[in-house]
Structure 1
Amino acid sequence: MLDSPAPEVGIGTARDLAGTLFGVRGTVRRLAGERAQNFHIVTSDDGEWVLKVAHPRDTAGVDTQVAALQHLAEHAPRLPVPRPRLPLGPARLSAAWSQVTPDGVAERRVQMCSFLPGRTASAERVGAAQRTAIGRTLALLHEGLSGFDATAAPPSPWNLLEFAAVQRLVRASMPPHVPDEHAGELEHLTAHALPILHELPRQALHNDFNPNNLLLDGDRVSGIIDFGDLVMAPRVQDVAIAAGYRIAADGHPLAGPADLVRGYHRHSALNGGEIALLRDLMAARLLSVLAIAAWRAEQDPSNAAYLLRNVPAARSALLRLSTVGCDEAAAYFTRSLS
């Protein structure tokens, strides 16, 4: 799915799809995206919506995302997540659309959900109280998704259970994207963390709890967006992904992540084995960001700015994290939770 960009969808086409498939009419503007092509639609009397036109090779994933949002609306109605709007006509989660392109016909899935206004966490100066709130919100999301079966979601290179495939990209892109000193990190992850991860119980996860997908209102998380990387995996994977984006440029590398983990742990306690894996899974995610983003930007240069937006921060965070060993990290997190 990540090896080629999707055919272009114009503003006029998006407007027609919204009206024909969902009965929504209004002004349309394009939103950024990695795989799907996304559009913000503002109506005069029917609210604001997001139209998402999936990559032609992502079909099962679309209905799984919509079903997850429906599940959360029923089982965790207070969580600030988008609400899906189903297509007109027979009961279905998303709509089919045959896009005629110069290369033939691309079969695509189209979904719609409510638009959540606000400022992303990437645009805010995030303090300890906000980091703790993010951790607690992630725990609440896991609680809401605990009974949802996401096994129909397609394989994702962002799933750390599939990190073996990402390793090949990391090695190929090591100079200059990944410094040589991180070669040992790969060997350690393969030998230590990933085999343990595969043995842990799995549940549906957001799998991309990064600052661009979180909206903040003061110390409160006011929105969780983009469920496009939904997977079945151990919950500690989601915690580590979120924590990895909280490594600051100064102070102890784990101070920011510990705030987030503390917020999660207070609502849903992590066990000792999960805490011991946090540091390694944070490293695995940061390596994935460097490798996948660089490779995707080469495949889709027109979208390179968006695809590479997290790379500088990930590179800096990985360098800082490499100064902390596994045992030291486990001890640090354990002390912070006591």
Structure 2
Amino acid sequence: MYSRPPNNIEFVKQLVKRLYNYEVKQIKELNGADDRNYYLVTNYEKEFVLKITNTVEGSVPGLLDAVNSFILLLHNNGFRVSVPQVNANGKYLSYEEIPSPDGQSVHESPLNTAYGVRLLEFISGKLLRDVPFTPQLLTECGQVLAHMTIAIQTFESQVISKRRPDWSLLNVLAVRQYIDAVHNQEDRDVVSATLDEFERTVMPILDELETNLIHGDFNEMNIIVHNNPNEHPDNEYHVKGVIDFGDIHYAPRVFDLAIYLCYSMLFFTAGPPILAPAFGLKGYMKSIKLHENELNVLCTCIKARFCQSLVLGAHSYRLDPTNVYVLSSAKNGWPAL
């Protein structure tokens, strides 16, 4: 599992001044499973997110540069994304040693590599999680995912082509080693049965499923929405932007859809949660027609993502009880599974 950077607010302020020549007027730590993310208001009322990446991903040569290039590709294709900002050295990325808040030690990765630091554009609005999951909005999110899937296929990176993030569904069977973090025996049994199903029905046909570059974490915490009446007279919430591209990798494209449909069930109130995936699937298939083998495994992949999210969340919380964000899916996730 990843080692998160220490939470040193005062050092972050100094870092922003040194690297970007901005005075931090307001700072607030945002949610993050593995990284540290800070919302900043600087002089001239400019808003940013400072992202300090965990030791594992930060130590992979060229990975964060490739992620930056990926974000810029989406930006150039008209998507509203959190664009990286150039620092004082003319780069989108720097590596910095982060001292602990008490100033007595410096936290470094096992490879003696400092943490990756990036300043990203802040996209105002609300997280999808914080607004009603209406059929219209879930359908639109499915459309955005499909459009993004099509746009990113021109992107090429040897670094990305070789990676397999811990949270990839390609690694879902590995959660078996952490299942003891789940206290309820009935829940453990459901997870075991789902993983067995995935191993039996999905793994043997991986080479037959269409593989693309995928976002890898298209969920309610990474989709920004707004209800600007000047743009949308219907006064409904609409997708404004997409954030957090730290899990991009090559995998069956049905995995990306399954991940989104999984999380779409968490806060759906227009009916039983089991109905929610139908709306996202409807939006997605307006632009991308799934093959029969993809449709056959879609439900299993949705359930597998629930297992991955719930078990890894429980395991991460066991390691760091202060990081309650990793339990964000638990309350509604277990009943949905």
Question: Where in structure 2 are the equivalents of 1:49-128 lying within 5 Å?
Answer: 49-59=48-58, 60=60, 61-74=63-76, 76-77=77-78, 79-90=79-90, 92-100=91-99, 102=104, 104=106, 106=108, 107-128=114-135
Structure 1 stretches lacking a partner, 5+ long = 319-338
- Paired residue secondary structure (2:38): strand
Cα deviation, residue 151, structure 1? 4.9
Task: Name the amino acid aligned to 1:53.
Answer: I
Task: Name the amino acid aligned to 1:51.
Answer: L
The answer (yes or no) to whether the contact 1:150–1:230 under 8 Å persists in 2 is no
User: What per-residue deviation string (whole Å, max 9, x for no partner) do you get for residues 175-219 of structure 1?
Assistant: 417242443222111111133235434322211111111122234
The answer (yes or no) to whether the contact 1:202–1:234 under 8 Å persists in 2 is yes
Q: Is the aligned partner of 1:317 residue 2:336?
A: yes
Instruction: State the superposition RMSD in angstroms.
Output: 2.2
Residue in structure 1 matched with residue 151 of structure 2 by the alignment: 144
CA distance in 1, matches of 2:253, 2:184: 32
CA distance in 2, matches of 1:250, 1:72: 32
The answer (yes or no) to whether the contact 1:66–1:84 under 8 Å persists in 2 is yes
CA distance in 2, matches of 1:213, 1:181: 27
1:8 to 6, 9, 22: 6
The answer (yes or no) to whether the contact 2:175–2:308 under 8 Å persists in 1 is yes
The percentage of counterpart residues that share the same residue type is: 25
Question: Where in structure 2 are the equivalents of 1:1-338 lying within 5 Å?
Answer: 1-2=1-2, 4=3, 6-27=4-25, 28-45=27-44, 47-59=46-58, 60=60, 61-74=63-76, 76-77=77-78, 79-90=79-90, 92-100=91-99, 102=104, 104=106, 106=108, 107-149=114-156, 151-153=158-160, 154-170=163-179, 172-176=180-184, 178-217=187-226, 218-247=236-265, 248=268, 251=271, 254-303=274-323, 305-318=324-337
- TM-score norm. by structure 1 comes to 0.85
Task: Name the amino acid aligned to 1:143.
Answer: I
- TM-score norm. by structure 2 comes to 0.85
The answer (yes or no) to whether the contact 1:22–1:87 under 8 Å persists in 2 is yes
Task: Name the amino acid aligned to 1:12.
Answer: E
The size of the alignment, in residue pairs, is 311
Residue in structure 2 matched with residue 325 of structure 1 by the alignment: none
CA distance in 1, matches of 2:106, 2:123: 35
Structure 2 stretches lacking a partner, 5+ long = 109-113, 227-235
